[in-house]
Structure 1
Amino acid sequence: MNLLLLALSLGLAGAFPLEDDKGCQPHSRPWQVHLHGGGVSCSGALINQWWIVTSFVCAPTSFQTVASLGEHDVTAQEGTEQHITVADVIRHSPYRSPLHSLTMVRLASPARFNQYVKPIPLPSSCPRPGEICSVSGWGSTIPNQYEPFQRLKCITVPIVDDMTCMNTFPEYIYWSLGMVCAGQSNTDNCLNDGGSVMVCNGQLQGVQWFRHGCSNPADPSVYTKLCLYNNWINNVMDRYTPFQTTVIPTTKTT
């Protein structure tokens, strides 16, 4: 009888997906953005009232993609959301290059900051191997398993040195100095959401590039090394400054 019960329990375990319980504390990542519509469904990071950073493959479509801020459960209206249309989309050039994976997204109207919507600072230095970081996004955190995304997920990962990461690459993927890797054996290094956001010590350090840890849980996942792109990011924001009416103060005369 015990053997029969064991067989049934194993059969049921194989019939149902594993539990994915890496949910973030609701609204603990107020910089997280859900980009959807216009052929994309990805994450990004809000860096000021107008601009979002995401990966190359997550580049949205101007005036077709919506950026949802203040999200936690994307299947429900929680009263905290701001849904803003995407205006400008600037990919890092050269396009289709294996050396870069970065897109800047300008909102059609500015985000309103509150406890649910806040920007994340750009990095002041690069992450070091062994540094512990947080990755957030919508999707499964169980390797090789699809799960319809609903609530924001969070995983904790260590930064991995470049050589260790390169040794896990398949032959068809080239290493780039614009990459940083995080996650290793016995850590949660899979979050199956394009553009997942990596934050280290309160600063934006990466957006997901390759989800290697979702194919092999022993491999690190790859992120864009944002500490190398501060100048490019700031130059884009300077060149594409949104038009705003400036109020000139008047001087009272007597």
Structure 2
Amino acid sequence: MTKILIVGMAVLCLSVGVLGFKPLLLEENCGFENQISARIMNGQAAKLGENPWMAYLKTPSGSKCAGTLINHWFVLTTAQCIPDDLAITVRLGEYNTKTKHDCENRRCQGDAEEYEVDMAFRHTKYKPSEHLNDIGLLRLERRVEYFAHIRPICIFVDERLRDHVNLLTWFTTVGWGKTADNKSSNILQKIDISRQPKELCSEIFGHSLTSDQICAGNQNGALCTGDLGGPQMRLMWHNNHDRYVQLGIASWVSDKCLNGSIFTNLLPHGHWIERVVRQFGPVQDLQRPSATIPDLPDFYQPI
């Protein structure tokens, strides 16, 4: 199988060929959870069946990252998680990385599925030294069929909500990183984190943050090694459903699991994501323009 890594991509004006209003979301069938049972981890409920968009990324060298399924063909992650040789395996529907069948309280979810990557994209302006524009996309070698435990998260491709999102004070993040006792976790972990002043992350990592980066964390909980590429998300009410929307990607975490991590802000990159998906994804799987103006979602209190 031929594999292609694209570091830069020209900005193309693609005509959808259908009159209507631009969709708010990359994929309309997105952000739905299927909770099966609960397991309490470090004070947080890591439920089997939650977060069906999570992707577990692993290379032959043993490096591990997280990512998120965003439609039938693409997984979103950081640019730094994409190896030059594209020797990377994507597991969807994963919960416990050490078990073949994931079950809790005699209830089980479907098995995880593995995918190879045939094309990858790093943002043209990615700067590794400062983690700027740390965003990438993996195109899978075959189409993903949606199941209760494998489905995409919502992605905004319209910046109308930018001012509103900038007011959000907390987020939820998940991953397979180290736990509070500094042990690696085989089971997907979940934690709520608060937006922090950018100066906090600047002090931790020694770099000033741009408007396209978010600082977030807690005194009693933070991201650790292994959480890179994971989502920063919030639950919203949209089109008569509760849905999770991804607002950031874990880009820079402390080896010491300190109380601040840097996330790539997705709203400024929504158009880039949409361009890649439209140019390199099958036409039949693209979101169509709406016949009416899309309703803006509501975020639950407290903001």
Task: Please indicate, yes or no, whether the TM-score normalized by the shorter chain is above 0.5.
Answer: yes
The 1:243/1:129 distance shift into structure 2, 3 A limit, reads closer
Please report how far the alpha carbon of residue 243 of structure 1 lies from its aligned counterpart in structure 2 after TM superposition. Answer: 8.3
Out of 135, 156, 173, the residue aligned to residue 102 of structure 1 is 135
Aligned amino acid, residue 220 of structure 1: G
Indicate whether 1:220 and 2:256 are aligned: no
What is aligned with 1:122? Answer: 155
| Alignment partners' CA distance in 2, 1:58 and 1:22 | 26
Please report how far the alpha carbon of residue 215 of structure 1 lies from its aligned counterpart in structure 2 after TM superposition. Answer: 2.4
Out of 200, 215, 218, the residue aligned to residue 184 of structure 1 is 218
More contact order relative to length (CA 8 Å, sep ≥ 6): 2
TM-score norm. by structure 1 comes to: 0.76
- Over the matched positions of the two proteins, sequence identity in percent amounts to 21
CA RMSD of aligned residues (A): 2.5
The total of aligned residue pairs comes to 219
Please report how far the alpha carbon of residue 163 of structure 1 lies from its aligned counterpart in structure 2 after TM superposition. Answer: 4.4
Indicate whether 1:208 and 2:244 are aligned: no
Residue deviations 1:38-68 (CA, integer Å, cap 9, x gap): 4441100111010111012211466632111
Aligned amino acid, residue 119 of structure 1: P
TM-score norm. by structure 2 comes to: 0.65
Out of 116, 126, 133, the residue aligned to residue 85 of structure 1 is 116
CA contact (8 A) 2:179 2:185 kept: no
| Alignment partners' CA distance in 2, 1:240 and 1:72 | 29
CA contact (8 A) 1:30 1:118 kept: yes
| Alignment partners' CA distance in 1, 2:56 and 2:87 | 14
Please report how far the alpha carbon of residue 149 of structure 1 lies from its aligned counterpart in structure 2 after TM superposition. Answer: 3.0
Residue deviations 1:5-59 (CA, integer Å, cap 9, x gap): xxxxxxxxxxxxxx95756111200000001124441100111010111012211
Which consecutive residues of structure 1, in runs of 5 or more, have no partner in the other structure? Answer: 1-18, 245-254
| Alignment partners' CA distance in 1, 2:252 and 2:86 | 27
The 1:243/1:228 distance shift into structure 2, 3 A limit, reads closer
CA contact (8 A) 1:56 1:102 kept: yes
Residue deviations 1:217-254 (CA, integer Å, cap 9, x gap): 3x32111101110001111112212488xxxxxxxxxx
Q: What are the equivalent positions in structure 2 for 1:20-99 lying under 5 Å apart?
A: 22=44, 24-39=46-61, 40-60=63-83, 64-78=87-101, 79-97=110-128, 98=130, 99=132
The 1:38/1:88 distance shift into structure 2, 3 A limit, reads farther
Greater Rg by CA:
1
Superposed structure 1 runs of 4+ greater than 6 Å apart: none
Which consecutive residues of structure 2, in runs of 5 or more, have no partner in the other structure? Answer: 1-40, 102-109, 236-243, 285-303
| Alignment partners' CA distance in 1, 2:152 and 2:72 | 7
| Alignment partners' CA distance in 1, 2:270 and 2:168 | 23
Residue deviations 1:166-218 (CA, integer Å, cap 9, x gap): 3x3443x3422221111132x42224322122111221011111113x5263x
CA contact (8 A) 2:194 2:217 kept: yes
| Alignment partners' CA distance in 2, 1:30 and 1:60 | 24
The 1:103/1:239 distance shift into structure 2, 3 A limit, reads same
For 1:87, what is the secondary structure of its paired residue?
Answer: strand
